[in-house]
Amino acid sequence: MIYEFRTYDLKPRAVLIFEERMAESLPGRLKLSPLGGFWSSEIGPLNQVVHIWPYNDMNERTDIRAKAAAVPNWPPNNNDIMENMQTEIFIPAPFMTPLGDRNIGPIYEMRTYKYEPGAIPQVLEAWGARIEEREKYSPLAGAWHSEIGGLNLWVHLWAYTSMDERARVRAETREKGVWPPPGSATPIQQENKILTPFSFSPMQ
């Protein structure tokens, strides 16, 4: 399984326009393969949207994208509101629940860590040993390491019912020594952003 992350930077005040256009044209695209999730940024880089598409492998991605070219009005023309586009391919952690219909938000925190080369296996081992305990406090929506795009990246997506719950969970898991997992490598760069789902996102 692979996941394609598509990140778009839009012009100011264009997110609602983008959502309307996407909602109109998305049903045709979904006949080809399912959507993992679709969000817009609330805190962090503003006017940004992130959508994630799962595929069995790169061959399936290539085949479906070729078929999608024949879908009417897909993708919708957003050239007038688009500033930048980026796509990356990620491999899911063995312990993550596949993206799909889940009502676990509506607050999603996406954290991106960059590690020294060769550190990802250590991260996977440390997280795998402690993730069950951590998810007693709030669900892990997804966790991936990069395959194509920026290398040595670890992206984890956490779901919360509110920003207050996020603050409480982070404080409580630290206080009890639940998280971060001991034995994990130390990242050399970290960043995060708060996302909220579009109305048509399967992850809510």
pLDDT for 21 equals 97
pLDDT of residue 40: 98
Strand partners, 92: 144
Query: For 97-108, what is each residue's pLDDT tens digit?
Result: 999 999 999 999
pLDDT score recorded for residue 204: 98
How much is the average pLDDT of 30-45? 98
Question: pTM for the complete prediction?
Answer: 0.96
Question: Using one digit for the tens of pLDDT, what is the confidence trace for 42-97?
Answer: 999 999 999 999 999 999 999 999 999 999 999 999 999 999 999 999 999 999 99
Q: Which residues pair with 38 in a beta bridge?
A: 51
> Given 3.30.70.100, 3.30.70.1140, 3.30.565.10, 3.40.50.360, which CATH number is that of 2-197?
3.30.70.100
- pLDDT tens track for 147-200: 999 999 999 999 999 999 999 999 999 999 999 999 999 999 999 999 999 999
Decide if 97 contacts 159 (C-beta within 8 A): no
Residue 93, pLDDT score: 98
Q: Enter the tokens of residue 53.
A: 């598409």
pLDDT of residue 22: 97
